[in-house]
Amino acid sequence: MDNTITADVTPLFRTFPFGEKTLRNRLVMSPMTRQYSPGGVPGANMAGYYRRRAEGGVGLIVTEGTCIDHPGSNGYVNVPAFHGQKALDEWKRIADEVHLAGARIIPQLWHVGAIRRPGMEPDPAVPGHGPVEVIENGRVVVKAMSRSDIRDVVESYARAAADAQRIGFDGIEIHGAHEYLIDSFLWDVTNQRDDEYGGDIEGRLRLAREVVAAVRAAVTRDFPIVFRFSQWKIRDYEARIARSPDELRRILLPLAQAGVDIFDVSTRRFYEPAFEGSPDSLAAWARRLSGKPVITVGSVGLSKAYAIAQLRGNEDASAQRAELSLVCGQVRSGAVDLVALGRALLADPEWPSKIRENRQSEINDVDRAALKTAV
């Protein structure tokens, strides 16, 4: 395969406004879970890990998913918390180091919802929390959330956002994608509630809207709120929360009105058409329908799409460099605003600098070891 990268990359290196601050370029580090935070406290290597990506030239870092202070928010071992003095002290240090290297940084605020199972840290007795009850082997493993559970989660998101601003982050990202809590309310396959949090799109969107509004009220107006959403789910890459542009508009406009500043549109292949009859990507549609800036993501600069099976070792994780002219053209034309990189930045923290300095041939390929990087 010819991996020569001949694109004019200058659009990627134009600045972009971010609240009252500025991003030095259009390149974003996509949120990536690492599981190197025993006891929920960001581990010793973490500041160096993020600082290296900042030094490598990325404009904005979205941290790995980090748990809000609701008891059911965590679903995996050694994931960092975004609450408690110790964890927040470490997060502040990470943000400070990233700033010294010239990048901006926002935490991805996470509640895993029904993905959690009893036995998981921090309190093994706590089940998953989701739109509806889930019973496995005669045991309730996911609790159907009551109105008061929902209120607790909404307030927990707001507290995390206020903490992020207090300790010096540049904004926050709400994880509303990939079948985790907020997305599981949005998706009609996982949400069969018959109260005001279920039913039609407006009902299924209510939790997301309440979270955004509570976060908006907890931070200053100029503090950017990024909202990540996706069509794809952990268990179903073909899933849809919006089957048409009109359904997408009914999801995004209320979120924009509630306070979202930027949509992070999570796709596995940024170039794929979102709906029949148009070549436009989901990110391009989201921009047009919401009137808000968007982040595009998914196989940018890489020959193969991300899949969960690659993390679990059931699928070959290797990926090679790919051409950048399409994504550069999308930024140049204004179809999208920002471009996120996931695996490419794990394999090579210096990806942005190498692209900018025309050193593409020096970029590291992605492999399974890169997906597990501790550094």
Ligand X SMILES: Cc1cc2nc3c(=O)[nH]c(=O)nc-3n(C[C@H](O)[C@H](O)[C@H](O)COP(=O)(O)O)c2cc1C
- Active-site residues, by number, are 180
Which single residue brings its beta carbon nearest to ligand X? Answer: 342
- Which residues inside 90-119 make contact with ligand X, applying CB under 6 A? 108
Q: Of 31-39, 82-90, 186-194, 255-263, which segment contacts ligand X by CB under 6 A?
A: 31-39
**Does residue 193 bind ligand X (CB under 6 A)?**
no
Q: What secondary structure does DSSP assign to 14-52, as a single string?
A: S-EEETTEEESSSEEEPP------GGGSPPTTHHHHHHH
Write the CB contacts of 44 (distance below 8 Å, at least 6 apart in sequence). none
Give the span between the Cα atoms of 167 and 92, in whole angstroms.
6
Choose, by CB under 6 A, the member of 341, 347, 355, 363 that binds ligand X: 341
Closer residue to ligand X (CB): 177 or 181: 177
Q: Of 198-206, 255-263, 275-283, 297-305, which segment contacts ligand X by CB under 6 A?
A: 297-305
Site string for ligand X, 159-178 (x = CB under 6 A): ----------------x-xx
CB atoms within 10 A of CB 334: 11
DSSP run (H or E) holding 70:
none
- Which residues inside 221-240 make contact with ligand X, applying CB under 6 A? 228
Query: What is the closest distance, in whole angstroms, from the C-beta atom of residue 281 to ligand X in the complex?
Result: 13
Do 192 and 131 form a contact (C-beta atoms < 8 A)? Answer: yes
Query: What is the closest distance, in whole angstroms, from the C-beta atom of residue 145 to ligand X in the complex?
Result: 21
- Cα atoms in the Cβ-side hemisphere of radius 13 Å centred on 249: 7
Give the span between the Cα atoms of 348 and 234, in whole angstroms.
26
Choose, by CB under 6 A, the member of 31, 42, 130, 293 that binds ligand X: 31
Choose, by CB under 6 A, the member of 297, 327, 338, 355 that binds ligand X: 297
Give the span between the Cα atoms of 246 and 228, in whole angstroms.
19
DSSP 277: T
Binding site for ligand X (CB under 6 A): 30-33, 64-65, 108, 175, 177-178, 228, 266, 297-300, 302, 306, 311, 341-344, 371
